[in-house]
């Protein structure tokens, strides 16, 4: 069978296919409504649902809940009749599968292991994702766009969230499921998995680019400057820029809220930065210390 | 009993019917309200809702579908527990028994597995919807945080369930997943700075997760209890906080445009 068909019809991967279809559908629907409301706001008209009244819960809402529940039940029953849950061989600690993949919803994090050490990819970044999500309502002080789909009035929020959700979460999951084979090497869906394949990728650290040993003191200092420069510069430069361009907003926003937002944002952007460094320049570590490597 | 109306009367005008439903339903405003707050399952709803709450295009029904998927998982999960022993000697053959011995065992397990995947998908889309409608904004900030924790608990519920069949897929997924625990800064034996706290493979986070230094009998028992008791318990409590706060914060969010 065609490897591509084989991969997407694996029982557990059917869930991913369903996810891709559902997410695409609801994303289009969300942005269609957002742009529609943008047009209404620009025309000075009320947005969708602004002037609507109340209806009795019994029966309009109860009825629709029952219909949806039945539809979900039919869908899941159909899915369960057509596709059987996989059951592999009994667990064998002496036989490691290659690749050993985490459950699909964690494959985005597993994919990060290519670019970060486990303490960052597996612990620090997931923790910051949770903290960052909980922090969203407290750092987004924009009063507009409350209770209706819209884009124009909250561009930064929507673009940042969409980047995190679609690229850093969902796309990495799709890559982990469909494009990673033995040795966590990249396989296009039409390529056969080859367990003997070895890819020689010369790795170097950032200071090696300038001919300085990354494990020496000068290499340590260069790494420290670059990493801390990124973190500190990533906080100070946008602050000065925004203070200059949007003084009113920054006054309202406040220093603490700015620091939380900026640190979360530059941490998120560190992920694509490290990806480019590795994929384009083959740079493994930026900063090597005796305790941890970044 | 001459015609259907008589039968209807007969059914409704007796002691048993009245004891269950307490009063007649005449489709008056009062009766429609009574139908909601007189019913323990429905009284989570307000008596009246915004028109938008009834239309699919605003909420997509995703929060409700997530809850419904959870109910399906609880029911199928409880039935599965009747056929399952959380020990590495029996777990795998119990799943094989589901396949070959238990009536409808295959479809029972399929419903639980696909229901779990489905719940993970819809809960993510629910979060996306709440973000896109800006529904986390005042006064709903706190409830968004509860929702994020419920999202994480959904992942953990699914993750702990992965080990229970004790097959290669679950075993190595849990091995990969819990190895991350070993990388925790300070508290994992491979994590940065752990040497300052004298952390070894036998007292770190991973050891606590697995009940040992490798995925074995204790790990299966821990995964099982997290999966069937501990996380569902916490999830149910937080779900009720979540639903309660939806009501207290003013129901399904409605457009609050700044004019």
Dihedral of CA atoms A60, A63, A65, A70 in degrees, nearest 10, equals: -160
B254 contacts A123? CB cut-off 8 A: no
Fold of the B49-248 domain: Cytochrome Bc1 Complex; Chain C (1.20.810)
Q: Which of A163, A195, A227 is the last residue of a domain?
A: A195
Distance from CA of B10 to the nearest CA of A (A): 25
- Whether omega for the bond prior to residue A99 falls within 30 degrees of 0, making it cis, is yes
Q: For residue A228, is it within any domain?
A: yes
Could you tell me if A170 and A294 lie in one domain?
no
pLDDT digits (tens, 9 = 90+) for B170-213: 999 999 889 988 999 999 988 999 888 899 999 999 999 999 99
- For chain B, report the end-to-end CA distance as a whole number of angstroms: 64
Q: For residue A159, is it within any domain?
A: yes
Q: For residue A32, is it within any domain?
A: yes
Question: How many beta-carbon pairs below 8 A join chains A and B?
Answer: 278
- The interaxial angle of helices A125-139 and A255-281, nearest 10 deg, is 140
Q: Which residues of chain B make contact with A168, given a CB cutoff of 8 A?
A: none
DSSP designation for A54: E
Q: Which of A144, A173, A195 is the last residue of a domain?
A: A195
pLDDT digits (tens, 9 = 90+) for A106-136: 999 999 999 999 999 999 999 999 999 999 9
Query: Which tokens belong to B202?
Result: 């036998």
Taking the C-alpha atoms of residue A24 and residue A101, their distance in angstroms, rounded to an integer, is 25
DSSP designation for A44: T
Domain span at residue A175 reads 1-47+59-86+104-195
B45 contacts A19? CB cut-off 8 A: no
Could you tell me if A122 and A184 lie in one domain?
yes
- The secondary structure of chain B as a DSSP string is --SHHHHHHHHHSSHHHHHHH-S-----HHHHHHHHHTSTTTTTS-SEEEHHHHSHHHHTTHHHHHHHHHHHHHHHHHHHHTT---STTTHHHHHHHHHHTSTTHHHHHHHHHHHHHHHHHHHHHHHHHHHHTTTTSTT-HHHHHHHHHHHHHHHHHHHHHHHTT-BHHHHHHHHHHHHHHHT-TTTSTTSTTGGGGT--TTTSHHHHHHTSSSSSHHHHHHHHHIIIIIHHHHHHHHHHHHHHHHHHTTSS-------
Residue environment code for A199-235, b if the CB has 16+ CB neighbours within 10 A, otherwise e = eeeeeebbbbeeebebeeeebbebbeebbeebeeebb
Q: Which residues of chain B make contact with A30, given a CB cutoff of 8 A?
A: 128-129, 132
Q: What's the rounded mean pLDDT across residues A67-71?
A: 96
Q: What's the rounded mean pLDDT across residues B85-90?
A: 95
pLDDT of residue B78: 97
Could you tell me if A80 and A2 lie in one domain?
yes
Please give the tally of structural domains in chain A.
2
Taking the C-alpha atoms of residue B124 and residue B129, their distance in angstroms, rounded to an integer, is 9
Q: Which of A149, A173, A195 is the last residue of a domain?
A: A195
The answer to whether the beta carbons of residues B246 and B252 sit under 8 Å apart is: yes
pLDDT of residue B168: 94
B183 contacts A118? CB cut-off 8 A: yes
**Confidence category of residue B105, pLDDT binned at 50, 70, 90:** very high
Could you tell me if A36 and A111 lie in one domain?
yes
Could you tell me if A290 and A240 lie in one domain?
yes
Q: For residue A98, is it within any domain?
A: no
pLDDT digits (tens, 9 = 90+) for B141-158: 999 999 999 999 999 999
The answer to whether the beta carbons of residues B72 and B205 sit under 8 Å apart is: no
CB nearest to A76's CB, from B35, B111, B124: B111
Could you tell me if A79 and A216 lie in one domain?
no
Could you tell me if A175 and A216 lie in one domain?
no
Could you tell me if A182 and A64 lie in one domain?
yes
CB nearest to A118's CB, from B32, B53, B180: B180
Q: What's the rounded mean pLDDT across residues A212-240?
A: 92
pLDDT of residue A94: 92
CB nearest to A50's CB, from B45, B64, B255: B255
A58 contacts B32? CB cut-off 8 A: yes
Could you tell me if A190 and A240 lie in one domain?
no
Distance from CA of B72 to the nearest CA of A (A): 8
Cβ neighbours for A177, distance < 8 A, ≥ 6 positions apart: A13, A16, A101, A104, A107
What are the residue ranges spanned by the domains of chain B?
1-48, 49-248
Query: What residue in B sits closest to A294 (Cα-Cα)?
Result: B192
| Bridge partners for A204 per DSSP | A283
DSSP designation for A55: E
**Confidence category of residue B109, pLDDT binned at 50, 70, 90:** very high
Q: Which tops the pLDDT comparison, A79 or B34?
A: A79
pLDDT digits (tens, 9 = 90+) for A132-175: 999 999 999 999 999 999 999 999 999 999 999 999 999 999 99
Point out the least confidently predicted range of A16-30, A49-63, A157-171, B61-75: A49-63
Distance from CA of B2 to the nearest CA of A (A): 31
Could you tell me if A211 and A166 lie in one domain?
no
Q: For residue A222, is it within any domain?
A: yes
Cβ neighbours for B224, distance < 8 A, ≥ 6 positions apart: B86, B160, B163, B164
Q: For residue A93, is it within any domain?
A: no
Could you tell me if A166 and A112 lie in one domain?
yes
């Amino acid at each position: 069978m065609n490897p591509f068909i084989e991969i997407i019809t694996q029982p557990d991967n059917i869930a991913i296919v369903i996810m891709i279809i559902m997410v695409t559908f609801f994303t289009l629907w969300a942005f269609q409504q957002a742009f529609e409301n943008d047009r209404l706001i620009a025309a000075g008209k009320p947005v969708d649902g602004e002037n609507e009244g109340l209806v009795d819960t019994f029966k309009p809402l109860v009825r629709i809940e029952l219909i949806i529940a039945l539809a979900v039940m039919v869908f899941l029953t159909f899915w369960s009749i057509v596709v059987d849950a996989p059951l592999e061989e009994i667990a064998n600690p002496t036989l490691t599968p290659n690749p050993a993949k985490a459950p699909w919803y964690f494959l985005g994090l597993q994919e990060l292991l290519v670019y970060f050490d486990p303490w960052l990819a597996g612990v620090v970044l997931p923790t910051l994702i949770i903290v960052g999500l909980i922090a969203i309502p407290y750092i987004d002080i924009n009063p507009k766009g409350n209770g209706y789909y819209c884009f124009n009035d909250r561009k930064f929020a929507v673009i940042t969230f969409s980047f995190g959700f679609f690229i850093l979460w969902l796309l990495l999951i799709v890559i982990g499921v469909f494009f990673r084979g033995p040795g966590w090497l990249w396989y296009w869906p039409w390529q056969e998995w080859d367990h003997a394949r070895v890819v020689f990728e010369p790795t170097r650290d950032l200071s090696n680019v300038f001919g300085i040993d990354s494990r020496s003191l000068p290499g340590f200092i260069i790494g420290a400057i670059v990493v801390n420069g990124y973190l500190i510069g990533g906080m100070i430069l946008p602050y000065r820029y925004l203070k200059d361009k949007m003084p009113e907003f920054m006054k309202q926003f406040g220093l603490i809220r700015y620091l939380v937002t900026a640190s979360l944002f530059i941490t998120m952007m560190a992920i694509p930065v490290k990806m480019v460094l590795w994929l384009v320049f083959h740079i493994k570590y930026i900063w090597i210390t005796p305790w941890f490597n970044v | 009993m001459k015609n259907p109306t008589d039968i209807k009367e007969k059914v409704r005008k007796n002691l048993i019917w009245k004891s269950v439903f307490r009063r007649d339903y005449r489709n008056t405003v009062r009766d429609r309200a009574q139908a909601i707050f007189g019913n323990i399952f429905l009284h989570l709803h307000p008596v009246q809702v915004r028109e938008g709450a009834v239309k699919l295009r605003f909420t997509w029904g995703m929060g409700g579908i997530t809850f419904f998927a959870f109910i399906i998982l609880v029911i199928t999960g409880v039935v599965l527990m009747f056929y399952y022993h959380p020990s590495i000697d029996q777990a795998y053959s119990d799943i094989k028994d589901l396949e070959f011995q238990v009536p409808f065992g295959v479809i029972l397990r399929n419903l639980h597995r696909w229901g779990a995947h489905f719940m993970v998908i819809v809960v993510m889309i629910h979060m996306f919807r709440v973000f896109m409608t800006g529904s986390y904004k005042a006064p709903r900030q706190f409830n968004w945080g509860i929702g994020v924790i419920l999202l994480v608990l959904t992942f953990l519920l699914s993750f702990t369930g992965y080990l229970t069949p004790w097959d290669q897929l679950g075993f190595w997924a849990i091995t990969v997943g819990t190895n991350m625990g070993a990388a925790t800064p300070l508290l994992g034996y491979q994590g940065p700075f752990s040497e300052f706290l004298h952390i070894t493979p036998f007292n770190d986070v991973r050891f606590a997760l697995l009940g040992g230094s490798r995925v074995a009998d204790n790990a299966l028992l821990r995964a099982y209890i997290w999966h069937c008791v501990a996380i569902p318990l916490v999830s149910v409590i937080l779900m009720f906080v979540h639903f309660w706060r939806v009501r207290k914060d003013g129901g399904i969010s409605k457009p609050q445009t700044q004019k």
